Structures are given as C-alpha cells and as structure tokens.
Amino acid sequence: MRRYKCGERKAPQLLTLFGDLYMTNPVTKEQKLSTIATNCKDKALMDNMIEKYQSSTKTAVENILNMCIAVKQIDDKYKEKLINDFDVTYFCASVSLDRKSPTYRKYRKIGEHANRFMQHMETLPSAYTVLFQIATLDPVKFDELIESEQITPSLSLEKLKQLTNASASKTDPDEVNF
C-alpha cells in the first residue's frame, strides 16, 4: 500500500499511524475535511477562523479588482480625451503607480476582465500577478478552469502556468497557429 503525506495531489483517506497522518484510497475533499474535522480540538473556533480567512481573501480580491477598474477607467477616459496627461500623472503619482510600468499594464488588463472576475471572487487568488495571467486566458479556458475548480484562492502563478501549458501541449500536432 502506497502512503501519501498530507497535501499530496490526490485526496486520499486518512490513516493515523504512530500519531502521523497518512493517506490511502482517494476520497473527495469534503470527506477529507470531515475526517480531519472530527479530530479538531475546537472545531467551532476553526470554522470561525476559516470564515474569517475566506472572507478576507474575497475582500482582498474585490479590492484589487476595484483598483484595476480605476486604472482601466483612467486609461479609457484618457483615450476618449476626457482627461489629459496631467490628470493621469496626478492619479498615478497620488496612488504611487508608474504609468509606464508593467504593474500599470497588468492592472489595466485585469480591469478589462473585472466584470467576469467579480462573479468568481470566492475562487480567485488575491495576487494581482496571478489575476493578470488569468486575465490573459481565453474565456473558454477560464470557464473550464473555474468549472473544474482548478482556479482557487491559493492558486500560484507557477501552478497556473502548469495548468495552461499542459492544455496547450495537448493540441493537435498538425494544427498550425498563426
């Protein structure tokens, strides 16, 4: 029987051996959490802390999206000539953001997708660099990753790149992209 340490890719059942948790057969996340929860010393406290953590993550994502929406709106108003260079410079200096920086461009890109992202705030990561990479995804790929629950608050940039590269390598070898 193969033993899995907690946190490995599959979600196996828990087996306690000499005080250490080991994993055996694959089970659902809910089953895994239920098994772990039965051993909590103060489950009510843990449930409260989990809610606090998840609520803070959602709030962080919402705040980032609002910042990105503001950058996109500034950019749109500038392109429509409703504001001038001084307005944009004043905004950027006030929020400590360099208009020519990669951060500004990433915020603008995230702002372009903010409406779609607002629908999934509970599942999105709060790192703007990861949100930017998600914003560059094809809408179909984004929906696929959301539906398969692969986009989570703890999703790292490295893991997102693995998820998107894995699907990119599964294309038809005779297909030519221009």
H or E segment to which residue 16 belongs: strand 12-17
Q: What is the pLDDT of residue 164?
A: 87
pLDDT at 89 over 90: yes
pLDDT band at 137 (very low <50, low <70, confident <90, very high): very high
Count CA atoms closer than 13 A to 157's CA, side-chain side.
8
Single-letter amino acid, residue 146: I
How many other CB atoms are there within 10 angstroms of residue 177's CB atom? 5
SS3 for 98? Answer: coil
Pick from 67-76, 120-129, 133-142, 164-173: least confident: 164-173
Locate the DSSP E strands across 18-149. Answer: 20-26
Question: Is the Cβ–Cβ distance between 48 and 38 less than 8 Å?
Answer: no
- Per residue in 15-34, pLDDT (tens digit) is 554 455 555 567 787 888 88
What average pLDDT does this structure show over 99-114?
96
pTM over 0.85, yes/no: no
CB 141 within 8 A of CB 167: yes
Domain boundaries, the chain: 4-37, 43-167
Q: What is the residue-averaged pLDDT of the chain?
A: 82
Q: In this predicted structure, what is the pLDDT of residue 169? A: 43
Q: What does the alpha-carbon distance between residue 132 and residue 137 come to, in Å, rounded to a whole number?
A: 9
Whether residue 98 contacts residue 92, with contact meaning beta carbons closer than 8 Å, is answered with: yes
Spell out where 59-116 has E strands: none
User: What are the angstrom distances between the C-alpha of 68 and each of 29, 49, 64, 73, 135?
Assistant: 33, 29, 6, 9, 12
**Cα-Cα-Cα-Cα dihedral sign, residues 134, 140, 69, 84:** positive
* pLDDT, average across residues 122-146: 92
Strand-pair category, 4-5 with 20-26? antiparallel
